[in-house]
Chains A and B, each alone.
Chain A
C-alpha cells in the first residue's frame, strides 16, 4: 500500500464528565447503560484504527447510533476526539494548531452532508463558492470556478436559484459541487443520499462512481445502506457500538462475515453480485472457452457465458494475459451460496 492518505490510530470519543479516564480502562467494556450509570459517560467510538490509501473509497457502514457519523467528524475535528491520532497525509490533525486545522479544512478535506447543509440565503453559485469564499478567493474568480463545477454536476444555468427552489436530488448535487469546488484530496460523505428517493439515490451513486473515475479522490463514505456500501466501497468497515467489527473488501464482508452480526446483515445479499471471478477462478485451463472477462468481473456477469456454453470462461488481467478460468460449477456454487471454492485467497 502506498503512503496512506488518512491514517487513524486508537481514536476514541467519549461523552461525559472527565471523559479521558474512560479511554482504555476496563470500564469502557461495560455495557452502555451500566457505564452511564457508573460514570455518567457514553462511549461513542472506541479504539478505531484505519488506513485509507490515496484514491481509495472507504465505506463505513452501521446502523444509527453506531458511531459512524462521530468517526467522520473526528477526522477533521468537527468533533474533538477524546484520544488517538488522525493523520491526513503528513499532517497530524489531532495535534494541529488552529491555522493548520483551518488549512486542512479549507484546502485538503471537504464534506458532503446528510441533509445537504445548503445555506438557504445564498444562491446556488454562492453556495458552491462558499468554500472558496472562506479561503478568501476573489469574488469573480470563485464565481467562475463555481460555474464550472455547477456544469460538472449537471446543473448548468441554475446558478441564480436559491436552494429551496430545487428538489432534494438537485440540492445534493449542489452539496457535492460545493465539496468538489475546493479541489480537496479527500472527500468525506456523511450519509449523503439517505434522504433521497431510491431512484435518485441510484443516480447519485452513479455520479460518485463516475467522479471516482474522473477525479480520483480519496473518499470516506458513511452509509447505513448495505447495497450502497457494496456498490461504492473498495473496502467496507462495519461499525457497531462504536467499534469496527469487520474491515474488508465487499467480497470478504459478504463471503466471510466476521461474526453473526455481520452475517445477519449480509444474509440477503446475492453473493454473485459481490464475489468477483478473482476469488473463485481456477488456474488457466487449456482448451476452448465460452468467452473472456477481465479480472474483477462479478460472478453474475459471467452467468450469460456459462449459460450459453458448457466451456469455461477465460479470465484475463489488464494486459490481456490469461490468469485463470472459471467454469459452470464454480459459478453455480457461488450462486448457491456454497463455499466450495476458497474465498478471498485469489
Chain B
C-alpha cells in the first residue's frame, strides 16, 4: 500500500524576534554538561554499582508472586482469566469454523470477499496466493495463524476505529491519544509482551492481546487522519442545512473518510501479520512457530517455507482487503428501476452464502479434510541446497569484491568493532554528556534532559555495555541504510523508470514480515553481527526510499517551474529547490530508518547479533522475565532518545517548510514501524 498522505500544512507565520541573548542559551547547558562530566569523573569510568534500579530482581519477584497467586487473586480469577478464556474461545471457534469450511470452502470465501471488494482480479489473486500456503504444505498451520490474526484484527478495529473517530473529532482527545501513541510507536513489541506473559501466561490470549496493542495505533491514526481530512467546506455544508453532530458524522464525515478508514483496516491486518513470529515467541502456534524453530536451528529451508507461507497469506489478505472496487457505472435506465437494484442487494449475499455452504458440504462429502498432499511441494530441501551453493560460492573467492565473508570481516573490522569500542570504552559519563548535548542542540533543554536521563536509566538497568553494543550496530546500520536509501529515493523521484522498477519491490517489502529478511541473510553471512546489520539495512531501506521519493514528489510544481524558467539545470533544481523544500520529509526518512533499525534488534539477536536483543530473546524463551525486561526497557530508552532527537530535526525544518499534523506525520510511517 502506498501511503501518500499529501503534506499540506499551514505555514507558520509567527516569527519570534531574535534576541541578543543567544549566548545566554549556550552558557547554561554548557555549564550543565561540564558539570555532568565533572561529577562523572569523580564517580568513575564505569557505571557505578550503586546506580542500580534492581529491575531484574523486582520483576522476577513480581513474576514469582503471580505464579504463586495466579489461581487465587481476584485480579486473575475475575479479570484476566475471563478475558483470556474469551479470546481462546474465539480463536478456537474461528479455527474450527475454518476447518469446517475445509480448504475449498476457505478458498471460495476468499474469492467472494475479494470479488466484493476488488472485483474478479482481487478474487483471483487472493485465491491463487492463498493456495500457495497449501502448496507449501502449511495449510492447517496457515489456518491456525489466520484464526489468531482475525480475532486480533477484529478486536483491534473495534477498539481503534471508534478511538480514531473520537480523535478526529476532538482536539483534546487527539492530544491525549497522541501522547500515548507516540510512546507506543517507539515501544518495541516485546516490552509489552513480557507483562502480558506475566498476566496471561504463555499462549494464544497473550499473543492476541500483544497483536491488538500493536495494531491499534495505526487504526486510530489513519481513522483520525481520514476524519480530519474531510474538507471544511463539506462539513460546513452539513451545518448550514442544520445537521446535528451525529448527522454530520454519519452523513458527511464518515462517508468521505471511507477510503482512509478502509486503508486503516488494511494496515491493521498487515501489522498483525508483521508480528506473527513474535507472537509465536509467547506461545502462539502456527506458521510463526515453524519459522522460529527453523531459525533457532539455523535450518534455512525449514524457516523459509513457513516464512513464504506467511508472506502468501499476508498478500492474499492484503489483496482482498485493499481492492478498489471498479466504479459501478449505473446507467440511468437501470437505476430508475428500483427493483433491479433491490434484487441485487438481497440476492448477492444469499447466493454467496449458499455457494459457500454448498462447497463446504461437498468438500465434507468428498473428505477433502486436508489440502491434497499430492499437490504440495517441499521447498526446504531445494532451498537448503541453494543456500549451500550460495554459501559455498559467495562467501569466499568472488573476484575483486572478495565475497560476503570478506565483506563481513571488512564491516566488522572497520565499522562495527571501532564503533563498539568507542562507545564501550569511553567513560559512561562522557556518553551521557554527549547525548544530552546532542539532545539539547536538537530540541532545547527539555530534550537534552530527556536524553541524558534516558542514558543514565540504561546505566541503572545494568546493561550499559550491551546497550552500547546495540547502539553501535544500529548506528552503523543507519548510516549504511541512508547512504543507500537517500540516493535511490532521489533517483526514483526524478526518473519514472526507476520508480516503476522500485515500486513493486517496495510494495512487496512492505508486506513482508521482518524476519523473512533474515533467511537470505543467513544464506550469505552465516550468523553474527554483520547479518544483523545487513538485515536491519534491508528492512530499513524501503521506507527510507519511499519517504525520500514522497518528500521530493510533494514539492509543489510552482517553485520548480519557476526555477526551470530561470534556467536552472536539473541539478540546480534539485539542490536549490526540491531538497530544501523536502527537508522535513528527509528528516522523517532519517527518523524512520533509525526506528526501523532499532526495531529489528531483537530479530537480529535470533541470528547472533548479541546485545540487548539477545537479553530480551533469552528472557522470553527461558522465562528469565527480569533479565528480558531490563533488556527490553533499555531498548525503549534507546529508541526514545533516537526518535525524539531525529523528530526534533524534522520539526525544526517544519518551521521553514510548513507544518504537518501529527496524524499525517505518523501516518506516513507505514506498517511494521512501531515494532
Contact = CB atoms under 8 A, between A and B. Distances in A.
Interface string B213-252: 0000000000000000000011011111111100100011
A111 interface: yes
A329 B669 CA distance: 77
Interface in A95-125: 101-107, 110-111, 113, 115, 117, 119-122
A78 interface: yes
Interface string B253-268: 0011010000000000
Interface stretch (A131-139, A225-233, A298-306): A131-139
B12 to A, nearest CB: 15
Nearest to A127: B237
B237 A119 contact: yes
B242 A102 contact: yes
A: contact size bracket: 20 to 34
B335 interface: yes
Given A113-B233, A130-B241, A121 B332 contact: no
Interface string A130-173: 11011100000000000000000000011110000000000000
A122 B251 CA distance: 10
A249 interface: no
- Complex A-B, nearest 10 residue pairs according to Cβ-Cβ distance, in ascending order: A105-B242, A106-B242, A117-B237, A160-B335, A131-B241, A111-B240, A102-B242, A121-B255, A134-B241, A117-B233
A76 B335 contact: no
A272 interface: no
B: contact size bracket: 20 to 34
A70 interface: no
B330 interface: yes
A113 B570 CA distance: 42
A182 B241 contact: yes
Given A113-B237, A160-B336, A119 B252 contact: yes
A158 B331 CA distance: 10
Nearest to A131: B241
Interface string A221-264: 00000000000000000000000000000000000000000000
Given A133-B251, A134-B251, A160-B330, A121 B241 contact: no
Contacts of B258: 121
B243 A134 contact: yes
B215 to A, nearest CB: 27
Contacts of A107: 242
B59 to A, nearest CB: 49
B518 to A, nearest CB: 44
Given A78-B236, A111-B237, A130-B251, 17 more contacts: A78-B239, A101-B242, A102-B242, A105-B241, A113-B237, A113-B240, A115-B233, A117-B234, A117-B236, A131-B241, A131-B242, A133-B251, A134-B241, A134-B251, A135-B242, A159-B332, A182-B241
Nearest to B254: A121
Interface of B: 233-234, 236-244, 247, 251-252, 255-256, 258, 330, 332, 335-336
Contacts of A106: 241-242
Contacts of B251: 130, 133-134
Nearest to A76: B240
Contact of A134 (B242, B332, B336): B242
Contacts of A103: 242
Contacts of A119: 234, 237, 252, 255-256
Contacts of B330: 160
Nearest to B239: A78
Interface in A25-72: none
Nearest to B255: A121
Interface string A293-314: 0000000000000000000000
Contacts of B247: 134
Interface string A182-194: 1000001000000
Nearest to A101: B242
A148 to B, nearest CB: 15
B240 A78 contact: yes
Given A117-B234, A119-B252, A121-B255, A102 B244 contact: yes
Nearest to B335: A160
10 contacts: A101-B242, A103-B242, A113-B236, A113-B237, A117-B237, A119-B237, A120-B256, A159-B332, A160-B335, A182-B241
A121 B236 CA distance: 16
A169 to B, nearest CB: 18
Nearest to B248: A134
Nearest to A106: B242
A107 B241 CA distance: 8
A71 to B, nearest CB: 14
A122 B237 CA distance: 14
A106 B336 CA distance: 28
A122 to B, nearest CB: 8
Nearest to A105: B242
Given A134-B247, A160-B335, A110 B256 contact: no
Contacts of B335: 160
Nearest to A115: B233
Nearest to A117: B237
Nearest to A104: B242
A192 B218 CA distance: 39
A117 B236 CA distance: 8
A121 B242 contact: no
A119 B240 CA distance: 14
Contacts of A110: 240-241
A157 to B, nearest CB: 6
Contact of B332 (A104, A113, A115, A157): A157
A147 to B, nearest CB: 10
Contacts of A111: 237, 240-241
A191 to B, nearest CB: 12
Contacts of A104: 242
Contacts of B242: 101-107, 131, 134-135
